[in-house]
Amino acid sequence: MSVTLEVNGETHVLEVSPTRRLLTTLREDLALTGPKLGCGEGACGACAVLLDGTPVVSCLLPVAAAEGRAVTTIEGLARGDTALQDAFVAEDALQCGFCTPGQIVSATALLAHTPRPTREEIRAALAGNLCRCGAYPKIERAVLRASGQAVA
Ligand code: FES
Ligand code: FES
């Protein structure tokens, strides 16, 4: 089946099974390896991408479901305003970095509709992004910093 995807502002026409995971297509067909395969079951958020601006777990999404919609990966976000990425670096908000693309994808969506989120709103928005390194306090500080709020 021919599937047309818009990923990071670029159009791709791919011959793939419509049930192929979006994550697999991103990583293996388009060489976009920022989204990670963690659990593969929708539970960890490592594979998160934006679909029309909303975070989704790409490991559960059939590629055909993304047709006609704007897919944005961490690679696409890196081409734009990097204030959030910079805040992660400034707050040392990662250890192994495996979860970081997903954390930034979810935080980007949060800041798009809530520019100055509370700590509770940050925790709620990132609840689907697990960090096996336990960097949660620093991730929260990074999102606060990126939103221009004081980091205590
Ligand atoms: S790899 Fe998709 S949610 Fe864990
Ligand atoms: S920094 Fe290692 S999983 Fe989050």
Same domain (yes/no): 73, 92:
no
Structural domain tally of the chain? 2
Same domain (yes/no): 73, 89:
no
Same domain (yes/no): 55, 6:
yes
Does residue 45 lie within any of the structural domains? yes
H/E stretch holding 22 reads: helix 22-24
Same domain (yes/no): 72, 87:
no
Per-residue confidence in pLDDT tens, the chain, 152 aa: 899 999 999 999 999 998 999 999 999 999 999 999 999 999 999 999 999 999 999 999 999 999 999 999 999 999 999 999 999 999 999 999 999 999 999 999 999 999 999 999 999 999 999 999 999 999 999 999 999 998 87
Residue in 74, 100, 136 to alter for ligand 2 test, most ligand atoms within 8 A of Cβ: 100
Does residue 151 lie within any of the structural domains? no
Does residue 107 lie within any of the structural domains? yes
For 58, the domain range is 2-77
Distance from the CA of 2 to the center of ligand 1, in angstroms?
25
Q: How far apart are CA 144 and CA 149, in angstroms?
A: 5
